[in-house]
Amino acid sequence: MLRIALFLGTNFAILIVLSITMSIFGVDGVLDEQGIGLDVNSLLFISAVIGFTGSFISLLISKWLAKKSMGVIIISKPKNDTESWLLQELDNISKKADIKTPEFGIFNSQQLNAFATGASKNNSLVALSSGLVNHMNRNEISAVIAHEVSHIKNGDMVTMTLIQGVVNTFVIFFSRVIGHIVDRVVFKVQRGHGPAYYITSIIAQILLSILASIIVMWFSRKREYAADASAAEIVGASNMISALKTLSTKSPDALPDQMAAFGISGKKASLFSSHPSIESRIESLLRNG
């Protein structure tokens, strides 16, 4: 469950920086029509520019950031039989999925997890934890690889970027509207913007971003079912189910917050969960198998 939280965290940080920059350079002042009321059309346009910029920057740096934050060691030339098999299996599964073989790496964790990330199908990364490689059998590892490759094949990161861009747009738009209303109604500022506008806008943006993440996480949970189904088509439903059962019994790692979203597993599902429960994923495979 790795790349969504990384993506969301990066996107959130970029939005905050862009919002502060917008205030410093007086863009908010430009959106204040004749110093009296908001220019709603201009505000919506600027919100969309900033919102989509934040999400696309997050997408473009996702692979680099994943490598750095998780300490992924890229395996290009195998040093042993296990690494040789892993590279060959990734290549075989990628061919079945009709995508370019992603980069492959291993990150040091004794717990069981994996993730895939990247800006496009032809510029992606699949990484497994050392614990997963050491404790799963080869059929289960194949299923995990197929699950991650399926995320890449399905274009989940690009789709997520577009959804996040739309969400960002409305978060920025409504946070500025709320700031403007507080400025005018509560603090009785008649022209321009007072300090309350900027403070309220930033606070509203943070709170709205948290609420908006519910939408993103709902979509993420739907994509997990789709990735499981695609993996089952490639390596067989029984292998995918076996991998999920192993994950549930081995207590998957509580990954760092910034990486807790597009790996193979997650905690019990909630509104803010990027993954459905493992039990519901197994039930879905059994039901559709």
So what's the pLDDT on residue 52?
92
Angle between helices 156-181 and 138-153 (to 10 degrees): 60
Candidates 12, 65, 73, 19; CA nearest to 46 is 19
How many Å apart are CA 223 and CA 156, to the nearest integer?
A: 7
Evaluate whether 5 touches 258 at the Cβ level (below 8 Å). Answer: yes
So what's the pLDDT on residue 36?
56
So what's the pLDDT on residue 15?
77
- For the chain, which residues score pLDDT lower than 70? 1-7, 22-36, 250-269, 289
Give me the helices (H) in 61-188, please: 62-70, 81-97, 130-135, 138-153, 156-181
The answer for residues whose C-beta is within 8 angstroms of residue 166's C-beta and 6 or more apart is 51
According to DSSP, residue 268 is labeled: S
So what's the pLDDT on residue 178?
92
Candidates 184, 125, 176, 113; CA nearest to 149 is 125
pTM strictly above 0.75: yes
Q: Where are the domains of the chain?
A: 3-63+158-208
Show which residues are catalytic. Answer: 148
So what's the pLDDT on residue 249?
80
How far, CA to CA in Å, does 99 sit from each of 6, 93, 115, 120, 268?
23, 9, 17, 10, 31
So what's the pLDDT on residue 259?
42
Joined tokens for residue 237: 């439903």
